[in-house]
Amino acid sequence: GAVVSQHPSWVICKSGTSVKIECRSLDFQATTMFWYRQFPKQSLMLMATSNEGSKATYEQGVEKDKFLINHASLTLSTLTVTSAHPEDSSFYICSASQRGDRRGFGAGTRLSVL
Amino acid sequence: GDSVTQMEGPVTLSEEACLTINCTYTATGYPSLFWYVQYPGEGLQLLLKATKADDKGSNKGFEATYRKETTSFHLEKGSVQVSDSAVYFCALSDSRDDKIIFGKGTRLHILP
Tens digits of residue pLDDT in A35-48: 999 887 677 899 99
Task: State what percent of residues in chain A have pLDDT above 70.
Answer: 98
- CA A31/CA A97 separation, integer angstroms: 6
Task: Please say if the pLDDT value at position A112 is more than 80.
Answer: yes
pLDDT of A44 reads 86
Q: Are A79 and A69 in contact (CB under 8 A)?
A: yes
User: Which are the contacts of A44, defined by CB distance < 8 A and separation ≥ 6?
Assistant: A36, A37, A38, A93, B89, B102, B105
pLDDT tens for each residue of A45-92: 999 999 887 889 999 999 999 999 998 889 999 999 999 999 999 999
pLDDT of A100 reads 67
Nearest C-alpha neighbor of B58 from the set B71, B49, B68: B49
Higher pLDDT, B22 or A1: B22
- CA B69/CA B57 separation, integer angstroms: 17
- CA B112/CA B108 separation, integer angstroms: 13
Burial class (CB in 10 A: 0-12, 13-18, 19+), B94: middle
Task: Please say if the pLDDT value at position A19 is more than 90.
Answer: yes
Nearest C-alpha neighbor of B12 from the set B81, B108, B89: B108
8 Å CB contact of A43 and B98: no
Q: Residue B67 carries which DSSP code? A: B
The minimum CA-CA distance between B108 and chain A, rounded to whole Å, is 13
pLDDT of A55 reads 86
**Closest partner CB to B42 (pick from A42, A46, A107):** A107
| Nearest chain A residue to B88, by CA | A43
Interface test with B, best of A3, A5, A24, A43 (most B CBs within 10 A): A43
Interface test with A, best of B23, B98, B106 (most A CBs within 10 A): B98
pLDDT of A72 reads 82
Q: How many CB pairs under 8 A join A and B?
A: 44
Write out chain A residues lying below 8 Å of B93, CB-based. Answer: 100
Task: Please say if the pLDDT value at position A103 is more than 80.
Answer: yes
Residues of chain B short of pLDDT 70, as ranges, are: 95
Cα–chain-centroid distance for residue B3?
Answer: 14
Interface test with B, best of A44, A59, A62 (most B CBs within 10 A): A44
**Closest partner CB to A105 (pick from B44, B93, B97):** B44
8 Å CB contact of B98 and A32: yes
Write out chain A residues lying below 8 Å of B98, CB-based. Answer: 32, 49, 97, 99-100
Q: Are B19 and B13 in contact (CB under 8 A)?
A: yes
The minimum CA-CA distance between B18 and chain A, rounded to whole Å, is 24
Write out chain A residues lying below 8 Å of B88, CB-based. Answer: none
8 Å CB contact of B98 and A108: no
Nearest C-alpha neighbor of B76 from the set B88, B92, B94: B88
Task: Please say if the pLDDT value at position A1 is more than 80.
Answer: no
pLDDT of B86 reads 94
- CA B103/CA B37 separation, integer angstroms: 12
